[in-house]
Structure 1
Amino acid sequence: MDQALERRLGPVVRALLWTAVGGYLSFVLGGQMTGTSAAPLWLRLAPVVPLTLLALLGLLHRAPRHYGALGLAALAWLELGIFLNGYARPEGLSWILPAYTLLPIAASPIWLKRRHFVAAAVICTLLGPLPLLWLEPPGPWQMFQYADYMVIAVVVAAVLNGYQVRLIRQHLELEERLRLRADVDELTGVATRARFLEQARSLLVKAIDSGTSLAVLYMDADHFKQLNDNHGHAAGDAALASMGHILREHLRGHDLIGRIGGEEFAVLLPGLDAEAARATAERLRRAVTLQRSAGQALSISIGVAVHGEETALEPLLARADQALAAAKRGGRNRVEVAG
């Protein structure tokens, strides 16, 4: 979740890094037009170089784990720049106080980790202003103003930061729930038809490229309409849920299982030939026959097909479906392998 949060925050971090470059330039030029500083102009402009490099790093190096470090580095350079522009100005602390108190609030969207927020608060409240306060001690009223405004700024930054992180987390959790609903069949716990077909095509391409075998099982619950008509849809749902559980329990972790239709399921078995796929299908068939729903025994018919010359998924599934139809014609509760 934290990595997803940082990825989502990436555009904000990059925008704020470039905003820091532009904002600092306007701060220096505005100060140049309105007063003087003991630091020469070239020295006051010097932080623009590292700030620009940090902004470029944000564009070129998009590893989410580095966003906090980039933000802290930019904040430190901004604090140094504010000091250089405020040192020995006639207006004293009052001229740069707004800049010092603005930084915690402006930077608050960047920090997703508590340690980064604490480090930023320390830089903003102590490490940045302290040199200027030491070299040019303010009067009691100015010191009170600084302390009061800075406390308010840090509190506001904490509120904004906490609200933003919570909002993004809730948004990501909602996205995850919607993704699962779209990808996973809620009743059976296996892949939905769309998700199965998408992943199955990828597995077929891998099998073709690597020259490995790939088997398909196409299965259908026997007499499912009769179960629904005699015992109701709740019994039918229970039977489908039981089948989904059996498939997940008896197949390998990298096998792909999907619910294709109402009571139809399909399975892709990477690396299995016809004999191994048939043995797997028989094991599944026997496991289903041990289950009952509404007092009625369950059974399935399974068609098996092994990838041959097919370059698309649909012909392979069609062969498995034809084998399933043959199993139905042969009396149901059986396995047929496509020729």
Structure 2
Amino acid sequence: MSSQDRSHEDRHEVAGGKRSKRRSRGRRIKSVDAPEDNLSFEDYAADRLWSFLCAQLATALAAYVVMFAGDAWLHGELFTRLTLVCATPVLPMAAALALAARKDSGMRSSLAALVFIAALETGIVLHGLHWQRSALIVLPAFVLIPLMFSPVLQRGWDFPLAAMLALTGPLALLAIRRLPGDTQIGIMLSMFFALASSFVTNHFARRAKRKSFRLEHQLRAFADIDDLTQLPRRRRVFELGRRILQRSERAGQPFSVLYIDADHFKSVNDRFGHDAGDRALRLIAHHIQDSMRSSDVAGRFGGEEFVALLPGTDQIDAARVAERLRKRIEDIRQFEVTLTISVGVAQHIRGEQIDRVIRRADGALLHAKGGGRNRVVIAGRPAGDDAAPAQPAHETQTAQAPLAKAPHEEPGIEPFSREWQPD
């Protein structure tokens, strides 16, 4: 598939990923990682169960307020000092809920849940000591606490601590109130079954979430990595390109794009077969990878087309990188025909979207194809407003205009593509 016969829609699909370098058995390996790929299982589980945890905390807080306010109203003790003492656990519970509700709180969500459980246990004990003659009235609340939080506390250490806190409430009531022996045994048995059920629920919920964690990683790798070249696919490249562009604009650094296409690639497939074509694509991908820095991103856009994102690089340095890559590909001697590439280079203009930058690089690539192939062409910058609205690729000046200066050209702005001439 060449640049000319690629559809307009395919030309502008998006992708992203972050490539890192690491060494394994003496060979350099490059992988693609998105931010979500770097999450630990604990952070992954916390992120997936965040809304569930917030709902559990809010439900428990509402239940305690209803229980407390209802008993205060029934006993006519709405504003007594003991009633206010029983109401004090509402404050740390509300604060813990507010902390857990912060989406970026991470491990603090587990800590907030533990603080919430401790305050809730304290409130239930105070409620039982003040208003109830029998501890059996508040026993259901003690039983429900570990059962409620067993599916959502998945860090390994947080649920055991929550279970210990849930056990302190009934033990405190048994220590303070002298209850009949059979009542004490009933309370302890109830808590034992509640804790046992909670640990079983937590174990299987954790195992199921781990399986989901592994499957998501596998599916993401399958969807985002091209199996032939081991480069990120189009969607991942564009997604990461947006993030790189934002960082470059914030730091005031240049950002350039290379659009790479293998010349006359169809002839390789026709003359030597598709296996040879696949081998050629792997060689090109290998040389592209070796030409990139660890901060750069290269991906396959489909067929024999590749895109490289070069943060911190202006169009001149990017053209030098492209020229070195072009020579490396030209020097490959594994085929009876000379394998060459054409490269379009475009530098990001402040306020310009990533699809616009890649589209201009694509226009420069088409110019290189029309100029005889096996060359590097730098895309011109649009005259006038840097953030001018994007136009369809077939209407851009870079793909159609001659190599001449426009009368209205602003200083420092090159509105037309030009072939790169090495120093």
Q: Shorter-chain TM-score category?
A: 0.7 to 0.9
Counterpart-to-counterpart distance in 1, 2:293 and 2:123: 60
1:119 aligns with 2:144: no
User: Residues 130 and 237 from structure 1, CA distance in 2 versus in 1: closer, same or farther, beyond 3 angstroms?
Assistant: same
- In structure 1, what is the equivalent of residue 118 of structure 2? 76
Higher helix fraction: Structure 1 or Structure 2?
Answer: 1
Secondary structure (helix, strand or coil) at the match of 2:226 reads coil
| C-alpha distance after superposition, 1:186-245 (max 9, x if no partner) | 322223223334444665676677665544433222442233234433332232223222
Aligned length: 332
The residue correspondences of 1:312-323 to structure 2 (distance < 5 A) are 312-313=356-357, 314-323=359-368
CA contact (8 A) 2:344 2:362 kept: no
| Residue among 37, 43, 58 paired with 1:18 | 58
Q: CA deviation at 1:90?
A: 6.6
Partner residue in 1 for 2:293: 252
1:225 paired to 2:246: no
Distance (whole Å) between structure 2 residues aligned to residue 34 and residue 185 of structure 1: 68
- 1:269 is paired with a residue whose SS is strand
Cα offset for 1:133?
0.9
CA RMSD of aligned residues (A): 3.4
Normalised to the residue count of structure 1, the TM-score between the two structures is 0.81
Alignment pair present for 1:52 and 2:94:
yes
The answer on whether the counterparts of 2:150 and 2:198 sit within 8 Å (CA) in structure 1 is yes
CA displacement 1:246-293 (0-9 Å, x = unmatched): 211221122232322311122233444555334322432343356566
After superposition, residues 29-178 of structure 1 pair within 5 angstroms as 29=69, 31=71, 40-59=82-101, 62-87=104-129, 92-125=134-167, 127-178=168-219
Gaps of 5+ in 2: 1-39, 379-416, 419-423
Cα gap change, 1:269 to 1:106, in 2 (>3 Å): closer
Aligned equivalent of 2:20:
none
Amino acid at match of 1:119: L
Matches within 5 A, 1:257-296: 257-273=298-314, 276-289=317-330
Q: Distance in 2 between matches of 1:242 and 1:63?
A: 45
TM-score, structure 2 as length reference:
0.67
Shift in CA distance, 59/306, structure 1 to aligned 2, threshold 3 Å: closer
Query: Which secondary structure state, in structure 2, belongs to the residue aligned with residue 151 of structure 1?
Result: helix
2:371 corresponding residue in structure 1: 326
The match for 1:185 is: 226
Of 305-314 and 97-106, deviating more is 305-314
* Alpha-carbon contact 1:219-1:301 (below 8 Å) kept: yes
Question: Are the counterparts in 2 of residues 301 and 324 from structure 1 also a CA contact under 8 Å?
Answer: no
Are 2:143 and 2:191, in contact at CA under 8 Å, matched by a contact in 1? yes
| Stretches of structure 1 lacking an aligned partner (at least 5 in a row) | none
Percent identity reads 30
Correspondent of 1:194 among 235, 247, 250 = 235
The CA deviation at 1:151 is 1.6
Change beyond 3 A, Cα 1:211–1:29: closer
Deviations 1:118-177 (A, max 9, x none): 11111112x222222112233332222222221211121112222333333433444444
